[in-house]
Homo-oligomer: A and B are copies of this chain.
Amino acid sequence: MTQDHTQSCPIARVLNIFGDNWTWLIIREAFYGASRFKDFERNTGIAKNLLSSRLNLLVDRGIFEKVNIGERGTRFSYKLTPKGKALRTTLYAMLQWGNEHLYGEGEEAVVLRDKKTGKLVRKMSLISEEGQPLEAHEVQVEIGPGAEPEVIQKLERAHIAIEEKKRAAQS
């Protein structure tokens, strides 16, 4: 994606960082334990120059920390920062959606298990302040304190569109 999504919506901002799907795959590999350039290269199949630019971008954005592990300063390791580790939720959400919608039952390639109980983990959902799972219709996507005019316009249009649909469904 060459064009920047300048909208201030958080999803657009997230996507601006990721740029393309290679970046998601690099993050995934980091969660699987990759930390060296050659690990990322081997596990993703990404071209060297592309990998190099993506890793630098992720270091710039504070998602990876580049650590010098060489005796003479020539070997580096890429470690997820706390900000990077927090992407786990997004990757797990993709993983669970993929398992449910892209595989037949019992054909999943990867599953998530609760180490303590040995049971599979539940499907993620939004959780209320009180700790209860929330259904889609129970959650309001709302204009936040830092919304720029374009986001406000978009959300207002969205609310109108949703109201129109409700009216159409009722009539």
In the complex, which of the residues B11, B95, B108, B111 contacts A11, with contact meaning CB atoms closer than 8 Å?
A: B95
Chain B residues, CB < 8 A from A76:
none
Chain B residues, CB < 8 A from A24:
11, 15
In this complex, how many residues of chain A approach chain B with their Cβ under 8 Å: the count is: 101
Nearest-Cβ distance from residue A64 to partner chain B, whole angstroms: 14
Measured between alpha carbons, how far is A160 from B44 in the docked complex, in Å? 18
Docked-complex contact B109 and A146, CB < 8 angstroms: yes
What is the copy number of this chain in the assembly?
A: 2
Bitwise interface map of A from 84 to 121 toward B, beta carbon under 8 Å scored 1, else 0: 01111111111111111111101111111111110111
Q: Which B residue's beta carbon lies closest to that of A138?
A: B115
A151 close to chain B: CB less than 8 A: yes
Nearest-Cβ distance from residue A116 to partner chain B, whole angstroms: 6
Q: Which B residue's beta carbon lies closest to that of A121?
A: B126
Measured between alpha carbons, how far is A124 from B46 in the docked complex, in Å? 31
A155 close to chain B: CB less than 8 A: yes
Docked-complex contact A13 and B117, CB < 8 angstroms: no
Docked-complex contact B131 and A122, CB < 8 angstroms: yes
In the complex, which of the residues B109, B113, B116, B134 contacts A8, with contact meaning CB atoms closer than 8 Å?
A: B109
Measured between alpha carbons, how far is A35 from B160 in the docked complex, in Å? 13
Task: Show the binding face of A for B, using Cβ within 8 Å.
Answer: 1, 3, 5, 8-15, 17-22, 24-25, 28, 31-35, 39, 43-45, 62, 83, 85-104, 106-117, 119-131, 133-134, 136-148, 151, 154-155, 157-162, 165
